[in-house]
Amino acid sequence: MGFEENSKDRLINQIGKKLQTTMIGALAGFENEFGYLWGHGLPYGQLTQDQKECRKVWNCVRTKILDDGNSNLRAIKSEISQYDIKWKRFVTNFNVKQEKNRDV
């Protein structure tokens, strides 16, 4: 596999990680703020009837968010496959100067 193909794979992986982090972070934030509505962290047997109903709705919404995010990730991969990509990685070049021999 050549450098350009490796560059493309690296970009896809980096975008994938960032998209997944965004989705999971958003879900976690929502659970932290509104999780009390569906008894977040409690066993199902300890939930009230209202919490059970809310948990059912939350699970549907959560699944839809994850499915949509994964679908968009596949679309991003498909889009990227249509481009030539070359990673401009950070490279440091050192210039070595030779000193003239000086007599003191």
pLDDT digits over 23-81, tens only? 999 999 999 999 999 999 999 999 999 999 999 999 999 999 999 999 999 999 999 98
Task: Identify the residue with better confidence: 46 or 7.
Answer: 46
pLDDT band at residue 104 using 50, 70 and 90 as cut-offs: low
Chain centroid to Cα 87, Å, comes to: 19
Q: Which of residues 37 and 84 earns the better pLDDT score?
A: 37
Position 103 scores a pLDDT of 65
More confident residue, 86 or 14: 14
Q: Determine if the pTM surpasses 0.85.
A: no
**Does any domain span residue 90?**
no
Q: Is residue 70 in some structural domain? A: yes
Q: Is residue 86 a part of any domain in this protein? A: no
24 lies in some domain: yes
Q: Does residue 99 sit within a domain? A: no
Domain count within the chain: 1
Q: Is residue 95 part of a domain?
A: no
Q: Residue 16's closest CA among 61, 96, 63, 80? A: 80
Domain of residue 27 covers: 3-80
Tell whether 96 is covered by a domain. Answer: no
